[in-house]
A and B are shown apart, each in its own frame.
Chain A
Amino acid sequence: MNGKLKLATVWLDGCSGCHMSFLDIDERLLDVAALADLVYSPLVDAKEFPEMVDIALIEGAVSSEDDYHKIRHVRAHTRILVSLGDCAVTANVPAMRNRFKVEEVLDRAYFENATLNQQIPVEVIPPLRKQSIPVHQVVAVDVFVPGCPPSADIIFYAVTELLAGRTPDLRTRTHFGA
């Protein structure tokens, strides 16, 4: 595809805030688009993850069976995997359920706090795993971008550095909770 790099973004257990922050790079999206094609993302139409992408930005913790299988598939088909944001890097807010059993969490959501139609969904919704964990505890991660969400500037810096073939050093530019 016209020699451009392939960029993907993946949405696991996160609030989509990291994707919003990615969109927040505004007109600089054109600069990114000049260097790469967004081949898979909640922001585009593709349904299947491509055979091989150069850079994948992962938002969210690994919480459900679907997350687990998806991230392993994505890892196998990605050159550089980026943990984008605190949920991917630390499991953050999704992990706050980890001290409770899955049944307790589901009870809380679908019975205690529901007034109508009290039932635990079993169709379409993937089952929760025992704990929400950071991406790097499931697959190898190449670059970590902490922040909740990382600022648009940080994301732009990280993506353009990666697209230029460099490894961005973000360690003192952003931090947990930033």
Chain B
Amino acid sequence: MKRPFKTRVRTLKIDGIDVGAREDETILELAQENGIFIPTLCHLEGVHDIGACRLCLVEIKGTSKLLPACMTYAEEGMEVITDSERLTAYRRQVLDLLFSERNHVCAVCVSNGHCELQWLAEKLGISHVGVPYLYPQLPVDASHSFYTLDHNRCVLCARCVRVCDEIEGAHTWDVTGRGVECRVISDLNQPWGTADSCTRCGKCVQVCPTGALFSKGKAVAEMTKRREFLPYLQQMREGRR
């Protein structure tokens, strides 16, 4: 919208519907604009997409690969399918693996009833987890004076990392390790409370989709997140450029 006179338009099909897109628009943005639901978890309006969670995978005619809608730009003549048995199976599998990889005990979680992972499980019809749970031994970092990080509930969406870096400009959070060893860390892999770069703004807590980051003093189901501020902050910044 910044430079409308230079924007080029692409025409393509999503689920058989003809749609027009700006050339800098992703399939996900385009689908949302047209009221087509694609499940997402790591996507967060206001920060860059990274295609980490793989829930927004879509089928595109002409390629056998499934592509993440948040990282795929609209192209002329594309034919996108956002919902199929194959996609549903993969999306459920992603959620199964997320549930089994950490200790998500919804019943006693601060975010019970306000959790995006829990909501997605219901939305995608997960009645049970088909793979064995790993029950990893994971720490809870309560060293910060305002907030707590519970690795048991983390889905590694890296929203905290991105909001801290791109919006707050502190880059307190980062990610260490690979695969099942992957963890969110603060500063030089030290307790959050000792991380000097943290400004205590709490943006990471508000954007966290699960109960991995929460305000101290919240009991079961009490942690609600407020993330309306993000697109607003981003708009303000873009307006100033």
B230 interface residue per 8 A CB criterion: no
A38 interface residue per 8 A CB criterion: no
A166 interface residue per 8 A CB criterion: no
B 100-136 binary contact with A (CB < 8 Å = 1; else 0): 0001111111001101001101110111110011011
Are the CB atoms of A93 and B135 closer together than 8 Å?
no
Are the CB atoms of B127 and A171 closer together than 8 Å?
yes
Size class of the contact patch on chain A: 20 to 34
User: How distant is the Cα of A102 from the Cα of B64 in the complex, in angstroms?
Assistant: 48
Are the CB atoms of A177 and B118 closer together than 8 Å?
yes
Chain A CB within 10 A, most for which of B109, B127, B133:
B127
Residues 136-195 of B contacting A (Cβ, < 8 Å): 136-137
- Measured CB to CB, the closest approach of chain B to A171, in angstroms, equals 4
Chain B neighbourhood of A151, CB < 8 A: none
A86 interface residue per 8 A CB criterion: yes
Chain B neighbourhood of A90, CB < 8 A: 99, 105-106, 128-129, 133
Are the CB atoms of A148 and B123 closer together than 8 Å?
no
Chain A neighbourhood of B109, CB < 8 A: 177
Do most interface residues of chain A lie in helix, strand or loop, or is the interface mixed?
Answer: loop
Closest to A97 in B: B135
User: How distant is the Cα of A134 from the Cα of B132 in the complex, in angstroms?
Assistant: 9
A152 interface residue per 8 A CB criterion: no
Closest to B106 in A: A177
Are the CB atoms of B128 and A83 closer together than 8 Å?
yes
A47 interface residue per 8 A CB criterion: no
User: How distant is the Cα of A171 from the Cα of B127 in the complex, in angstroms?
Assistant: 5
Knowing A86-B107, A99-B103, A177-B118, the reply to whether A171 touches B137 (Cβ < 8 A) is no
Closest to A94 in B: B105
Are the CB atoms of A144 and B127 closer together than 8 Å?
yes
Are the CB atoms of B107 and A89 closer together than 8 Å?
no
User: How distant is the Cα of A11 from the Cα of B148 in the complex, in angstroms?
Assistant: 35
Do most interface residues of chain B lie in helix, strand or loop, or is the interface mixed?
Answer: loop
A91 interface residue per 8 A CB criterion: yes
Chain A neighbourhood of B108, CB < 8 A: 93, 96
Are the CB atoms of B105 and A171 closer together than 8 Å?
no
Are the CB atoms of A95 and B133 closer together than 8 Å?
yes
Are the CB atoms of A175 and B129 closer together than 8 Å?
no
User: How distant is the Cα of A90 from the Cα of B126 in the complex, in angstroms?
Assistant: 11
A 159-178 binary contact with B (CB < 8 Å = 1; else 0): 00000000000111011110
User: How distant is the Cα of A131 from the Cα of B128 in the complex, in angstroms?
Assistant: 18
Closest to A147 in B: B107
User: How distant is the Cα of A136 from the Cα of B137 in the complex, in angstroms?
Assistant: 23
Chain B neighbourhood of A141, CB < 8 A: 128
Are the CB atoms of A177 and B122 closer together than 8 Å?
no
Are the CB atoms of A172 and B128 closer together than 8 Å?
no
Binding site for B on A (CB under 8 A): 83, 86, 89-93, 95-96, 98-99, 131, 133-134, 136-137, 141, 144, 146, 148, 170-172, 174-177
* 11 sampled A-B residue pairs with Cβ under 8 A: A89-B128, A90-B99, A96-B103, A99-B137, A134-B133, A144-B128, A171-B127, A172-B122, A174-B122, A176-B104, A176-B118
- Extra A-B contacts (20), CB below 8 Å, given A137-B132, A175-B121, A175-B122: A86-B107, A89-B127, A90-B99, A90-B106, A90-B129, A91-B133, A95-B105, A99-B103, A99-B136, A133-B132, A144-B127, A146-B128, A148-B107, A171-B122, A172-B122, A172-B123, A175-B106, A176-B106, A177-B109, A177-B118
Closest 3 CB pairs of A and B: A177-B106, A148-B107, A171-B125
